């Protein structure tokens, strides 16, 4: 064990151990108060939640500085508009493809037929979702300080872009701020390194807590629904994205998937595209070779408006619940579901569990019983972790395609297996590690 392990390997080990420990607790120690109080609700909960906070702590400053650098790096408002337009269109397109794929496969396999409603009894109360018009109005922040304080990603992106454009217009004064932002960005990247250093323990605790609460036995009665969602996620991640990557970005999908691994681990263990932004950004820039000028915009944008995995869950859930309640859906309703899911993914941020709120919006629209969502609640956490991986893979795929079009993708970095291995902390007076 004295071999030097990369941080990614340590994080993977933390994840695997957490999964095993959590599942063992769920099987054998569910009713032992000591374990529940001191480990599941104690150490695992505290360290896991603090670790998520540490990741979230990085998001706003990192996105701000790196987006300022990105816009100044592009330096041309036309190119900025092009990147914005292309990524928006591609995000909509991939989500539409995802939900269509999910609907087609779910209709063919028809999960939920013959399902007895008593099998799963959680109740679901839908939270209010904002009307879609508000979503567009609220892209413009009434108070930028509030936007930053609340971490409202679309508002932050909007304000920072306007500010950075103004910096470009301001000449010398703007240039000085750009230099400062460049330095702040560099320092923020080091803050990411510090947080990454505790990631093996953080990820272990998150996994141990989730799996001690979510026994795999929960899946059994829902195996039909669960496996159709997983199948669609798999097909979309390995089929649709691979096709898009090799056709439009001219990249090897296999290398891409390998390079994405650290981001996947974080997405899976946090179930939040937003909290994963720092890792996705780093992976895209340092490992895949996308220039900051593209990734700084497309990654936070995608984490907010692009949720292909979530759309897939919605497609399958809609067909499943319709089957359970024996409600026939017609073509118009299916088209409405596609439109609604795409719109809903724009309006909601990438945080855990938000997919269910979006699903409630879709159900209201097509007249399915919202309380039906209670049926799938039990398995949602695990699916949330899986679909978040797909969500960020979608963001990364679109980023690569846009970067290829803009000539901001460095193939030498992409093809170098050693590029951007997550670095260990290297303190200035740190003694040389033996």
Q: Closer to ligand ASP at the Cβ: 293 or 310?
A: 310
Instruction: Answer yes or no: are the C-beta atoms of 289 and 412 closer than 8 Å.
Output: yes
Helix (H, G, I), strand (E, B) or coil at 328: coil
Phi, then psi, of 116 in degrees rounded to 5: -90, 130
Q: Closer to ligand ASP at the Cβ: 181 or 275?
A: 275
Helix (H, G, I), strand (E, B) or coil at 170: coil
| Distance of closest approach, residue 119 Cβ to ligand ASP, in angstroms | 23
Q: Which of 353, 411, 416, 425 binds ligand ASP (CB under 6 A)?
A: 353
Closest CA to 384 of 272, 242, 290, 279: 272
| Distance of closest approach, residue 392 Cβ to ligand ASP, in angstroms | 7
Q: How far is CA 327 from CA 19, 31, 318, 400, in A?
A: 38, 40, 10, 41
Q: Which of 232, 237, 245, 354 binds ligand ASP (CB under 6 A)?
A: 354
Does 95 engage in binding with ligand ASP (CB under 6 A)? no
Q: Which of 14, 22, 315, 355 binds ligand ASP (CB under 6 A)?
A: 355
User: HEC states along 105-154?
Assistant: HHHHHCCCCCCCHHHCCCCCCCCCCCCHHHHHHCCCCCCHHHHHHHCCHH
* Touching ligand ASP, residues 249-278 (CB under 6 A): 271-273
Cα 125 vs. chain centroid, distance in angstroms?
24
Q: Closer to ligand ASP at the Cβ: 18 or 350?
A: 350
* Touching ligand ASP, residues 157-216 (CB under 6 A): none
Tokens coding 187: 């320092």
* Touching ligand ASP, residues 273-312 (CB under 6 A): 273, 307, 310
Q: Closer to ligand ASP at the Cβ: 124 or 414?
A: 124
* Cα distance between residue 54 and residue 199, in whole Å: 10
**Which string of x and - marks every residue 365-404 that binds ligand ASP (by CB under 6 A)?**
-------------------x--xx--x-------------
* Cα distance between residue 314 and residue 317, in whole Å: 5
Measure the CA dihedral 302/303/306/310, to 10°.
160
Q: How many residues bind ligand ASP (CB under 6 A)?
A: 15
Q: Closer to ligand ASP at the Cβ: 25 or 361?
A: 361
Does 351 engage in binding with ligand ASP (CB under 6 A)? yes
Closest CA to 396 of 202, 235, 255: 255
| Distance of closest approach, residue 140 Cβ to ligand ASP, in angstroms | 24
| Distance of closest approach, residue 384 Cβ to ligand ASP, in angstroms | 5
Does 352 engage in binding with ligand ASP (CB under 6 A)? yes
| Distance of closest approach, residue 249 Cβ to ligand ASP, in angstroms | 22
Using CB under 6 A as the criterion, which residues of the chain lie in contact with ligand ASP when the complex forms?
271-273, 307, 310, 350-355, 384, 387-388, 391
């Amino acid at each position: 064990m004295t071999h030097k392990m990369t941080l990614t390997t340590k994080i993977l080990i933390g994840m695997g151990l957490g999964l095993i420990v959590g599942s063992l607790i769920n099987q054998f120690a569910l009713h032992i108060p000591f374990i529940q109080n001191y480990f599941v609700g104690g150490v695992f909960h505290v360290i896991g939640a603090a670790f998520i906070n540490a990741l979230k702590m990085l998001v706003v400053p990192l996105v701000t500085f790196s987006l300022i650098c990105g816009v100044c790096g592009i330096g041309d408002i036309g190119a900025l508009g092009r990147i914005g337009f292309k990524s928006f269109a591609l995000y909509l397109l991939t989500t539409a493809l995802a939900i269509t794929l999910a609907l087609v496969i779910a209709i063919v396999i028809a999960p939920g037929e013959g399902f007895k409603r008593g099998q799963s009894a959680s109740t679901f109360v839908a939270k209010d979702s904002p009307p879609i018009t508000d979503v567009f109005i609220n892209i413009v922040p009434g108070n930028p300080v509030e936007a930053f304080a609340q971490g409202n990603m679309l508002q932050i992106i909007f304000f920072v872009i306007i500010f950075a454009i103004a910096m470009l217009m301001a000449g010398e004064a703007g240039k000085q701020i750009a230099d400062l932002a460049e330095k702040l960005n560099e320092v923020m990247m080091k803050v990411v390194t510090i947080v990454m250093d505790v990631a093996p323990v953080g990820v272990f605790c998150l996994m141990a807590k989730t799996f001690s609460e979510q026994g795999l036995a929960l899946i059994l009665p829902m195996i039909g629904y669960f496996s159709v969602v997983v199948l669609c996620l798999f097909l979309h991640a390995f089929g649709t994205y691979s096709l898009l990557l090799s056709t439009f970005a001219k990249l090897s999908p296999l290398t891409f998937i390998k390079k994405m691994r650290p981001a996947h681990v974080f997405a899976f263990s946090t179930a939040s595209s937003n909290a994963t932004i720092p890792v996705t950004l780093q992976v895209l820039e340092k490992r895949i070779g996308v220039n900051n000028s593209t990734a700084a915009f497309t990654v936070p944008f995608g984490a907010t408006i692009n949720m292909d995995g979530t759309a897939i869950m919605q497609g399958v859930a809609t067909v499943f619940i319709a089957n359970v309640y024996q409600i026939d859906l017609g073509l118009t309703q299916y088209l409405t579901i596609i439109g609604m899911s795409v719109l809903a993914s724009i309006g909601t941020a990438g945080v855990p569990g938000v997919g269910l709120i979006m699903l409630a919006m879709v159900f209201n629209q097509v007249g399915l019983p919202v309380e039906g969502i209670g049926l799938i609640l039990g398995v949602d956490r695990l699916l949330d972790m899986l679909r978040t991986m797909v969500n960020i893979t979608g963001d990364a795929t679109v980023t690569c395609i846009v970067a290829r079009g803009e000539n901001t993708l460095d193939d030498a970095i992409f093809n170098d297996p050693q590029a951007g291995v997550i670095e260990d902390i290297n303190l200035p007076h740190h003694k040389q590690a033996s």
